[in-house]
Amino acid sequence: MKKNSLTSFANERINQLELEGRYSTAHIYSNALRSFTEFCGTKTVSFQQVNRESLKLYHQFLLDHHKKLNTISTYMRMLRSIYNRAIDADIAPYIHRLFHDVYTGIDSTHKKAISPKDLHKLLYGKTNNKELGKTQQIANLLFQFSGMSFVDFAHMEKSNLKNGTLDYCRVKTGTPIDVTILNSAYKFVHHLEKKDKSSTLHNYLFSILSGNYSKRTKEGYTEYQTALRKFNSNLKRLADTLQMTNIPISSYTFRHSWATIAKNLGVPIEMISESLGHKSIKTTQIYLKGFNITERTKINEKNYRFVRNII
């Protein structure tokens, strides 16, 4: 591999991210580098191969391969980050508005929420398959836990359960959050509760991960990614079983659907953001009075009843 090439510089960055325990970010960088290398058709990509014309062609290459705009944006932003670091290190030439002609935004038209009726069918439709039944129970809890993300659900520890409340920090951002467990959720909690006590590091609440690896290690990251892929695969199988065709389903579905339903029910955006543990309106949250757990629990119950009672 040529020294000071884009390929070698990017791999150094990826290795550094892994040393820092940032395996998810390292994975995204790797995917972006792999994709651009495939486009270039060379084993090693030089910085000279990165210019406004080649990036426009790469953008079209991704579109021709049916990549979504948000995926294109992610790849372009990763390449931009690598290139800018190389400029700072004086090993890549500065090119004015290098990424000006390619997409680096966020495609807000790509909706991950599904309709309340489809959500009801997915959460309560009958299935005789035990594994798909477990998947349905997890999906139910993700929604009933105020649109909890799957990564937070999988890493929830028994110590986070205190007097009927889940009190934890989000894995992605470290934001502290608390969620009251609705009465309707307890039966799913009991079914999914981890009974095996053989784990050596973490005493997880649910039987998703073994508990034998730290989430900051490569083994922990790999184990979680395997669990996520399995969950998403089973969700699609569940949707097919319930004859829900042409409806995109993933672990994000319940989070986005919870937020969308809450918005349609007139819930203030500040409360939705706080319930989801977002930091995107941090200034607004500081300026406004925060909502206490009793107020947010009422909204969560309202969301749950709306979907549960759809005919």
pLDDT tens-digit series, residues 138-163: 999 999 999 999 999 999 999 999 99
Average pLDDT over residues 83-110: 90
Between 109 and 69, the more confident residue is 69
Mean pLDDT of the chain: 91
Measure CA 139 to chain center: 15
Q: How far is CA 225 from CA 215, 251, 262, in A?
A: 11, 12, 29
Average pLDDT over residues 62-72: 95
Q: What is the CATH number of domain 116-308?
A: 1.10.443.10
pLDDT tens-digit series, residues 219-228: 999 999 999 9
The pLDDT of residue 277: 84
Does pLDDT of 261 surpass 80?
yes
Domain edges within the chain? 6-88, 116-308
Among the ranges given (17-21, 84-88, 226-230), the one the predictor scored with the smallest mean pLDDT: 17-21
SS3 state at 166? strand
Q: Per-residue confidence at 263, pLDDT binned at 50, 70, 90?
A: confident
Cβ atoms of 23 and 14 closer than 8 Å: no
- Measured distance CA(305)–CA(308) in Å, rounded: 5
SS3 state at 79? helix
pLDDT tens-digit series, residues 222-248: 999 999 999 999 999 999 999 998 888
Strand partners, 169: 176
Does pLDDT of 48 surpass 80?
yes
Q: Per-residue confidence at 286, pLDDT binned at 50, 70, 90?
A: very low
The single residue listed with the structure tokens 């009672």 is 309
- Measured distance CA(132)–CA(117) in Å, rounded: 19
The pLDDT of residue 283: 32
The pLDDT of residue 109: 56
CA angle at residue 285 from 281 to 290, to 5 degrees?
A: 145
Helices and strands, number each (H, E), in the chain: 13, 3
Closest CA to 232 of 249, 246, 244: 249
The pLDDT of residue 200: 82
